[in-house]
Amino acid sequence: MFISAQDHKAKGLISAQDHKAQALISAQDHKAQGLISAEDHKAQGLVSAQDHKAQGLISAQEYQAQRLISARDHKAQGLISAQDHKAQALISAQDHKAQGFISAQDHKAQGLISAQDHQAQGLISAEYHKAQALISAQDHKAQGLISAEDHKAQVWNNKGGTGKTSLVFQLSAEYARQNPTQKVIVIDMCPQANVSSSLLVNTFSNFPGEKVVSDASKIDTKKKMKSFEPNVCGYLLSRLDRDESVKGSINWNQFLIQASVFNKFVPDNLRLLCGDIYLEVLSKRLEQERQLVPTRYDNPWRRVTLFMKDFIEFISSSNKQVFHMFFIDTNPSFSIYTEMAITGARRMVVPFTQDDFSVSAIKSMLYSVYGFTSEDSERLEGLKESQYFWLAEKYGISPPKLHLFINNRATFYGTKAAAAFAAIGNEVSASLLKVYIKSQDIFETATELSSLDLIMDINKFKMRYLIDCCDFQSTIVLSLHNGCPFSQIDPGSHTIYGSSITISKTNLEDCKYAILKIVKLL
C-alpha cells in the first residue's frame, strides 16, 4: 500500500519534493508498513531532514550526491555514495556478507587498489608480510599468487623420473636471481642428495658436486656445535639427542650452507640444507622414535613428524625482516622423511610425465597425503588408521595445499604441447577437477577465480592448476653437470667429461621461458 506523506500523517512513499527523491522504508519491528515519521527521536524509519526540507532521502547538497542506504542483512538495499569521488557501489552480502567496491579516496580508486608502482592490480597489504595478495611483480618478472608470509613449496610425486630434482634446482636458482633481497632456502630431503650435488658443484676447482657434498658437510670446529654435521642428517640427529644441554643451545642457521661459496653460478642469497646419502639409514631411527608410546607430556608421532616444519619456522623467525622462500626436494617413496617434508611445506608442486603411470601416481599421492579416493574399498578402510593423512588429522597437522601440476618434458609444436602429451595433460586435468569438486579444501585458493568458475570451465581450471613444461633435452644435462642454471648458460659448444656437446639456442630459450613461467606462479 502506498500512502502519501503529508504533515507526517501518511504512510508509504514520501515525496522528497525539494530533492525529487522517494524512499520506502519498512518498519517490521512495529509490524507496520510505510513511513515512520521521525519526530522527537521517538520514531523509526525515515527521518525528516527539516533543514533541507525533505523526508526519506537526505540530499547531500555539498557533494551533489544521493544515497540510498542498502543493508541486505538489515533488510534494505541501496547505494553507498562515495562522496569525495562521486561514485556509488553496490554492496552485496555474500560469503562474508559484504563484497563490493570500496572507495580508495587517497588513490582515487574503488574496490581494487591499483599498485601503479608495480603496474599491477591487487589488494596489497603493507603490514610486515602479514597479508596475502595477488601482486604483479614486474620488477622481478613474476606474477601469480604471492603470499606475504614465507613460502614453503615442496616438489613431490611418488613416481620417479618426473623431474623433481631438476625443477627444484632450476626454480630455486631462478627465484633467487629474480629476488636478490629475499632468502631462498633449498632443503634436500632425498637420500640421493642430487640437488645438493648440483648446487655445490665446485666450479672454482672443477670438482664434481658429489665430492663437495661430503666436504661441505664436514664439521667446523670453530662453530660451537656438538659434532653435528651441517646437513639434513646433522639437524635431525640434533633433534633426537636427549642431552638437555643440546636442546635449545644450537642455532639451526648453522646447518645451512651458502651455496655460492662452492658454486659461482648460484646467487649469493641461496642457502642449502645439504642432503646426506645416509638419510635412509637414519630414517629407521626416526621411525623408531616416532613409534614410542605417547605420554601425557609428549606425542612422539607428532613431535618427530614436525621436525622439518620446526626447522623452517625457526629459520623464518630468526630474521623476520627478510622474506624467505623454501624449496624442498623429496624422494619418490612415501617414507618418514617424505612425510616430514610434506608436513613442513605449505604448498605442493607436482610434476608428472606423459604416461599412464603418472596418472596412477597422482591418484596414489592424493590418497596418501589427503585420504582422497574415488572408490569405496574395505581394504583401504581397514588400513587408514596407519596412514599419514589419518594420523596427521588426528594429531592436528595440516598437509600442504595442492598448488600446481607441471606437465613436464612435453614436446611442443609452436606454442602448444603435441597431441599425445596434451592428451595426458587433459586426463590429469579431468581427474583433478573431479577431486576439486569434492574436496576444494585441499587445493590452494584461486583468488582470481571463483570456485564456480573453475568447476564450470575446465579450461579455467587448467589455467590455474596446470602448466606445460618443455623437454629440457641436453641443456639440463649440462646444467646439472656444471651446477649452472639455465640463466647462466650460453648457447654453443660445451664439454662434458671430455665429450663435446652443442646447446641449441632455441632449446635454451625454451628452457629459460619454461622456468620463468613456473616461477611466476610460485
Cα of 183 vs its chain's centroid, Å: 17
Higher-scoring residue by pLDDT: 299, 20: 299
Helix (H) or strand (E) holding 194: helix 194-199
Does the pLDDT value for residue 103 go beyond 90?
no
Can you tell me the mean pLDDT for 189-217?
74
**Tens of pLDDT, residues 331-375:** 888 999 999 999 999 999 999 987 888 888 899 999 999 999 877
- Residue among 254, 272, 252, 253 at smallest CA distance from 262: 272
Does the pLDDT value for residue 106 go beyond 70?
no
Cα of 498 vs its chain's centroid, Å: 43
Asked whether 184 and 270 are in contact (CB, 8 A), the reply is: yes
At 175, the amino acid letter reads Y
Q: Is the pTM of this model over 0.95?
A: no
Is residue 467 classed as helix, strand or coil in its secondary structure?
Answer: strand
Distance CA 230, CA 285 (A): 19
pLDDT reported for residue 56: 38
Does the pLDDT value for residue 208 go beyond 80?
no
Does the pLDDT value for residue 219 go beyond 60?
no
**Tens of pLDDT, residues 18-74:** 444 333 334 344 443 433 343 444 434 333 434 434 343 334 333 343 333 343 343
Residue 329's φ and ψ, nearest 5 degrees, are -90, 140
Asked whether 78 and 67 are in contact (CB, 8 A), the reply is: yes
**Tens of pLDDT, residues 243-285:** 755 666 788 999 999 999 999 999 999 999 999 999 999 999 9
Asked whether 404 and 349 are in contact (CB, 8 A), the reply is: yes
Q: Of 19-33, 417-431, 467-481, which one has max mean pLDDT?
A: 467-481
Does the pLDDT value for residue 75 go beyond 60?
no
Is residue 520 classed as helix, strand or coil in its secondary structure?
Answer: helix
pLDDT reported for residue 216: 64
Q: Strand pairing partners for 79?
A: 68, 90
- pLDDT above 70 covers a percentage of the chain that reads 62
Pairing of strands 466-470, 401-410: parallel
- Residue among 511, 504, 519 at smallest CA distance from 480: 511
At 143, the amino acid letter reads Q
Grid coordinates in use for 173? 636458482
pLDDT reported for residue 492: 96
Grid coordinates in use for 90? 553496490
Q: Cβ neighbours of residue 89 under 8 Å, at least 6 residues apart?
A: 79, 80, 82, 100, 101, 102, 103, 110, 111
Grid coordinates in use for 167? 625443477
Cα of 375 vs its chain's centroid, Å: 29
Domain 152-521: top CATH class: alpha beta
Grid coordinates in use for 242? 636427549
Q: Strand pairing partners for 493?
A: 502
Q: Cβ neighbours of residue 252 under 8 Å, at least 6 residues apart?
A: 235, 311, 314, 315, 318
**Tens of pLDDT, residues 142-172:** 323 333 356 666 776 666 778 899 999 999 9
Domain boundaries, the chain: 2-148, 152-521
- Residue among 341, 401, 393, 332 at smallest CA distance from 364: 332
At 481, the amino acid letter reads H
**Burial 436-467, CB ≥16 within 10 A → b, else e:** beeeeebbbebeeeeeeebeeeeebbbebbbb
- The DSSP result for 67-114, as a single string, is -B--BTTTTB--EEEETTTTEEEE-B--TTT-BS--EETTTTEESSPE
Distance CA 342, CA 120 (A): 32
Higher-scoring residue by pLDDT: 36, 307: 307
Which burial class, exposed, middle or buried, applies to 13 when counting CB atoms under 10 A from its CB (0-12, 13-18, 19+)? Answer: middle
Asked whether 215 and 208 are in contact (CB, 8 A), the reply is: no
Is residue 472 classed as helix, strand or coil in its secondary structure?
Answer: coil
CA dihedral 194, 214, 243, 330 (to 10 degrees): 0
Does the pLDDT value for residue 90 go beyond 70?
no
Grid coordinates in use for 261? 661459496
Pairing of strands 401-410, 347-352: parallel
Does the pLDDT value for residue 433 go beyond 90?
yes
pLDDT reported for residue 14: 32
**Tens of pLDDT, residues 166-193:** 999 999 999 999 999 999 999 999 999 9
Is residue 402 classed as helix, strand or coil in its secondary structure?
Answer: strand
pLDDT reported for residue 450: 81
Does the pLDDT value for residue 475 go beyond 60?
yes
pLDDT reported for residue 354: 79
Distance CA 414, CA 127 (A): 44
Distance CA 401, CA 412 (A): 29
